[in-house]
Amino acid sequence: MDIQRAKEEIKQTVRAYLACDDTGAPLIPPVRQRPILLMGPPGVGKTQIMEQIAQECGIALVAYTITHHTRQSAVGLPFIRERNYAGKTRSVTEYTMSEIIASVYAAMERTGKQNGILFIDEINCVSETLAPTMLQFLQCKTFGNQAVPAGWIIVAAGNPPEYNKSVREFDLVTLDRVRRIDIEPKLSVWQEYARAHRLHPAVTAYLELRPQHFYKIENDVDGVQFVTARGWEDLSAFLQAADKLDLPVDEGIIAQYLRHPEVARDFAAYWVLYRKYHQDYGVEDILQGKPFDAVVERAVKASFDERISLVSLLLAGLNTRFAAARSIGAVTDACYQQLRSFKRALGQQPEAKPAALFAEQCESYRQRLEEAKAAASLLPEELAARTRTAALLDIWGKKLDAVLDADDAFDTVRAAFNAQVRRREDAVTAAGDALEFAFDFMERAFDAGQEMVVFVNELALGPDSAPYLAENECERFEQYSQKLLLHQGDDEILAELERDAIRAEEHSAEF
DSSP string, 360-385: HHHHHHHHHHHHHHHHT-S-HHHHHH
What is the model's pLDDT at position 511? 37
DSSP codes of every residue in 472-486: S--HHHHHHIIIIII
Average pLDDT over residues 294-302: 87
**pLDDT: is 113 or 487 the higher one?**
113
pLDDT digits (tens, 9 = 90+) for 339-369: 999 999 988 888 888 888 999 999 999 999 9
Strand partners, 94: 79
Model confidence at 128: pLDDT above 80: no
**For residue range 197-209, what is the model confidence (pLDDT) as tens digits?**
899 999 999 998 8
Range of lowest pLDDT (223-237, 302-316, 431-445, 474-488): 474-488
* Of 376-380, 401-405, 407-411, 487-491, minimum mean pLDDT range: 487-491
Burial state string for 418-434 with b = 16 or more CB within 10 A and e = fewer than 16: eebeebbeebbeebbeb
pTM of the predicted model, to two decimals? 0.75
Quote the pLDDT of residue 489. 45
DSSP H helical segments within 60-128, as ranges?
71-75, 99-111
pLDDT class for 502, splitting at 50, 70, 90? low
Question: Averaged over 211-229, what is the pLDDT?
Answer: 86
Q: Which residues of 259-272 are buried (b: 16+ CB within 10 A; e: fewer)?
A: bbeebbebbbebbe
Judge whether residue 494 has pLDDT over 50: no
Strands (DSSP E) found in 135-174:
142-143, 146-147, 152-158
Instruction: Express each pLDDT in 400-426 by its tens digit.
Output: 877 678 888 899 999 999 999 999 999
Highest mean pLDDT among 109-118, 222-231, 265-274, 479-488: 265-274
Region of residue 376 (phi > 0: left; psi between -120 and 50: alpha; otherwise: beta): left
- Please provide the DSSP assignment of 398-457 as one string: HTTTT--SHHHHHHHHHHHHHHHHHHHHHHHHHHHHHHHHHHHHHHHHTTTSHHHHHHHH
Cite the DSSP H helix spans in 99-183. 99-111, 131-140, 172-175
> Residue 315 — pLDDT band, cuts 50, 70, 90?
very high
Range ranked top by mean pLDDT from 29-38, 39-48, 54-63, 245-254: 245-254
Cα angle: 301, vertex 306, 307; to 5 degrees: 70
Stretch 71-82: mean pLDDT, rounded?
74
Amino acid at 288: Q
Residue 18 CA to residue 49 CA, distance in Å, equals: 19
More confident residue, 67 or 152: 152
pLDDT in tens, 459-468: 999 999 999 9
**Host H or E run for residue 62:** strand 60-65
Across the chain, mean pLDDT equals: 85
Q: Is the pLDDT of residue 491 over 80?
A: no
Backbone φ and ψ for 215, nearest 5 degrees, come out as: -145, 120
